[in-house]
Chain A
Amino acid sequence: MSKGVDVNLENVWIRFGEFVAVREANVNIKGGEFFSFLGPSGCGKTTILRAVSGFLEPSDGTIKIGGKDMAGIGPNKRPTALIFQNLALFPLMKVWENITFSLEVQGVGKADRRKRADELLEMIALSDQGEKLPSELSGGQKQRVAIARALCAEPDVLLLDEPLSALDLKLRQHMRTELREIQQRVGITFIYITHDQGEALTMSDKVAVMRAGIIDQIADGKSVYDDPATPFVASFVGENNVFRGKVKSIDGDMALIDTNRSGTLLARMASAAKGTLKVGDNAMMFIRPEACKIATDTSPAHNRLTAKVKNEEFEGQIYNVFLEGSEGKEIKMSLVNIGQQRLSARGSDLTLEYAPEQAVALPAGDLASE
């Protein structure tokens, strides 16, 4: 199989009339990378994918695949293959004909096509299913057929538009692993579109987080999660408790935030906040539910909070505890289930603490809407 090639978006704008779907996107995807665009629906991620695949032209800017400008080159001439959200298998063609349609287009003879189909069917563990119609396959099998069909033409870049969204949870998790494995085996560039942060974080080398046409952050999954670039990223990727306030003092990497409702709290400055967040600025700080622990020492400190237990949810591997702080401030805490007693005393006071390095301070900005 061909080695993956770079995909570069340089100053790409995509407008539909007055509406700006993608604003000044600059993305450099390295060959062989698993790159995800993560964002809520309507953020422009699918638009970017359609521009890369050639179904629409950017209003401004350049898209390069393998260093070559793609302007004016149609989807059928690009070294990309697209897997659609609904897979778009051809219902009236047999599975093997579906898989080798791109070869049929190239005029490859039937015997050779059949042979290639068998190879690909073996790769996706569906040997003997070639003569069936797509409607006779299960959801996961169809998924794999769509992947094989896209890989058949040996594209340099595989584009995936939320292909797992129609599957049930178990299968979805299984397919994540499988997709990642296939990507590592064939070594080509994968560009993956999703609104599911779990998918983006587990599979990708790099994640671009998008909101309303703007790319907020491009980084590996861990950085996106632990060191968000904007309040939107902090609140969209994973769950976060948000505290608004003003910066009281800064000491090295740490900032002391005078929160509106929860006293003065200490947080690490996010990389994006360094140099921009100043004393007296409006700030937001984020504490992940899993960063919260029950404090044994209840004396006041800049990393402790006292709140009332409101509700408790048991999720299996974790307990979610919902707390109500002063002036109704809601705080969520997640405790790993290690067999401890559940906290059932609703309305009782509880002091939680967190490691200040695990809390993140950022300049105030828009949050992801719930």
Chain B
Amino acid sequence: MGGIFRDFFDRNGAGLGIFLLVVVGFWVVILIILPQLSMLDFSFRHHLPPPEMGGPKDTYTIEHYKYLVLGAPGADTSYNVVDLGVFGRTLIAALFVTILDLVLCYPLAYYLGQSKGGGFVRVLVLLLIIPYWINEILRAFAFRIIFGESGVINEVLLTMGLIGSPIDFIRANIALYAGLGYAYILLMIFPIYNVIESLDRNQIEAARDMGAPWWRIHWRIVIPYAKPGISSGCTMVFMLSAGALAAPQILGGPSSLWFTQIIYQWFNQGGNWPRGAAFAIVLLLTCIVIVLSMMRLFKVKIGDIGK
């Protein structure tokens, strides 16, 4: 252990070494580990009015976790169908958004990665980045307008005579999926683009020379090579979609709730921090489990993601 530190300081010098240690330490310990631990602690406490906190009633409990699974004591159903339903729907929808982004971004990332630079590619990258200068709320509301009953899309479809009456994209959650998918497109494109950029073009030509059609070239050569990029893109998009709040708040249909909205309600409207914390912890752990099992399924090592 001492050896590692000595090596580290020898390589970076005392000044930079201390800076790196302090900054990374502050980030990891103060900004990540401690808040999460305190949330974990919260999630196991009773919901008490402030004067009673730290008093005799402030003991550890799993009532909030129980609530998520079983619902309020004395409810008519034996499980908390509403919250669990939202929880499941959120995860499935996040998975859907991830797949949507992957399908959209892989061809684009392949194109960007394999074309040798050039003005057009630079313009394309710029066009992808510039919309992110606009803040998230504004973007979500713009989507609301585009997808609204008298929005651009409905207007065009109506004028072309493809539909008789406007489609309610908001109620059908199409606006939500589009908004979420759009919000994380860059997080999908860039990791894949980075990996594909380093793929030797000759390998593609060699495969073509050996008679491989385009889909087999992608299946056997490009996708296996791009797997670390694909998994890091998917991980980020999935985690962020499942944890998104603004887009579901603004673009979600009236009857559909995102699990984060329930968490938000407990924290904010309900003022019930322990319950909010318990729900958030369950969401976090489930997401981690899903990501890890996906990685196991597709044989991706966790170290590959950092590549």
Complex contacts, A139 vs chain B, CB 8 Å: none
Question: How many A residues have CB within 8 A of the partner chain?
Answer: 26
Task: Note all chain B residues with C-beta closer than 8 A to A204.
Answer: none
A106 proximal to B (CB < 8 A): yes
Residue in contact with B220 in the complex, picked from A74, A77, A93, CB distance below 8 Å: A93
Whether B208 contacts A76 by the Cβ 8 Å rule is yes
Within 8 Å CB of B203, what residues of A? Answer: 88-90
User: Is A153's CB under 8 angstroms from B200's CB?
Assistant: no
| Contact string against A for B residues 177-220, beta-carbon threshold 8 Å, 1 for contact and 0 otherwise | 00000000000000000000000101101111111110010001
- Would you list which residues of chain A between 216 and 261 have a CB under 8 Å from chain B? none
- A157 and B166 CA atoms in complex are apart in Å by 62
B205 touches A84 (CB 8 A): yes
Q: Are A76 and B209 in contact (CB under 8 A)?
A: yes
Across the interface, do A76 and B213 meet the contact criterion of CB distance under 8 Å?
A: yes
Min C-beta distance of B149 to chain A, whole Å:
49
Asked whether any CB of chain B lies closer than 8 Å to the CB of A169, the reply is no
Judged by a CB distance under 8 angstroms, whether A101 is at the interface is: yes
A334 located at the interface, meaning its Cβ lies under 8 Å from any Cβ of chain B in the complex: no
How many chain B residues sit at the interface, stated as a range, is: 10 to 19
Find the residue from B200, B207, B211, B225 having the highest chain A CB count within 10 A: B211
**Does B224 count as interface, using CB distance less than 8 angstroms?**
yes
Instruction: Give Cα A84–Cα B208 distance, bound, in whole angstroms.
Output: 13
Shortest distance in angstroms between A254's beta carbon and chain B's nearest beta carbon? 51
Query: Are B209 and A82 neighbours in the complex by a CB distance under 8 Å?
Result: yes
| Chain B positions 56-111 with a Cβ under 8 Å from a chain A Cβ | none
Chain B residues lying within 8 Å of A147, measured Cβ to Cβ, are none
Report the bound CA distance from A106 to B211 in whole Å: 8
- CB-CB under 8 A from B200, the residues of chain A are 86, 88
Contacts of A82 on B, CB cut-off 8 Å? Answer: 205-206, 209
- A351 interface residue per 8 A CB criterion: no
Q: A82–B210 Cα gap in the complex (Å)?
A: 8
* Choice from B205, B211, B224, B225 contacting A105 with Cβ under 8 Å: B211
- B34 on interface, CB distance cutoff 8 Å: no
Say yes or no: is B163 at the interface (Cβ < 8 Å to chain A): no
Given contacts A88-B200, A93-B220, contact A101 B209 (CB under 8 A): no
Is A102's CB within 8 Å of the partner chain B? yes
- The answer to whether B202 and A90 have CB atoms under 8 Å apart is no
**Closest partner residue, chain A, to B205 (CB atom):** A55
> Is the CB of B221 closer than 8 A to any CB of chain A?
yes
Contact of A194 with B by CB under 8 A: no
Find chain B residues with CB under 8 A from A101 CB.
207, 210, 212, 220
Q: Are B225 and A92 in contact (CB under 8 A)?
A: yes
What chain A residues lie within 8 Å of B224 (beta carbons)? 92
Decide if A53 is an interface residue (CB 8 Å cutoff).
Answer: yes
What chain A residues lie within 8 Å of B225 (beta carbons)? 91-92
Complex contacts, B202 vs chain A, CB 8 Å: 84-86, 88
B216 and A105: CB pair below 8 A? yes
Whether A105 touches B206, Cβ cut-off 8 Å, given contacts A88-B200, A90-B221, is no
Q: Contacts A84-B202, A86-B200, A92-B225; is A75 near B212 (CB within 8 Å)?
A: no
Tell me the residues in window 75-119 of chain A with beta carbons closer than 8 Å to chain B beta carbons. 75-77, 80-82, 84-86, 88-93, 101-102, 104-106
| Interface 0/1 of A136-178, CB less than 8 Å to B | 0000000000000100010000000000000000000000000
Chain B proximity mask over A42-64: 1 for CB below 8 Å, otherwise 0:
00000000000111000000000
Which residues in B have their C-beta under 8 angstroms from that of A85? Answer: 202
Give the contacting residue for B211; candidates A53, A77, A89, A93; CB below 8 A.
A77
Contact A153 B211 (CB under 8 A): yes
Chain A nearest Cβ from B293, distance in angstroms = 22
Task: Knowing A101-B212, A105-B210 are in contact, say whether A75-B221 is a contact too (CB < 8 A).
Answer: no
In the complex, what residues of B have CB within 8 A of residue A93's CB? 220
Please, which residue of chain A has its CB at the minimum distance from the CB of B210? Answer: A102
How many whole Å from B231's CB to the nearest CB in chain A? 15
Given contacts A92-B225, A101-B210, 8 further A-B contacts (CB under 8 A): A55-B208, A77-B211, A82-B209, A84-B205, A86-B200, A88-B200, A88-B202, A105-B216
A residues with a Cβ closer than 8 A to B are: 53-55, 74-77, 80-82, 84-86, 88-93, 101-102, 104-106, 149, 153
16 pairs, CB–CB < 8 Å, chain A vs chain B? A55-B208, A74-B208, A76-B212, A81-B209, A81-B210, A82-B209, A90-B203, A90-B207, A92-B224, A101-B207, A101-B212, A101-B220, A102-B211, A105-B212, A106-B211, A149-B210
- B: residues with CB less than 8 A from A are 200, 202-203, 205-213, 216, 220-221, 224-225
A-B pairs with lowest CB-CB distance, top 10: A88-B202, A102-B210, A88-B206, A76-B211, A84-B202, A105-B211, A92-B224, A105-B212, A82-B209, A75-B209
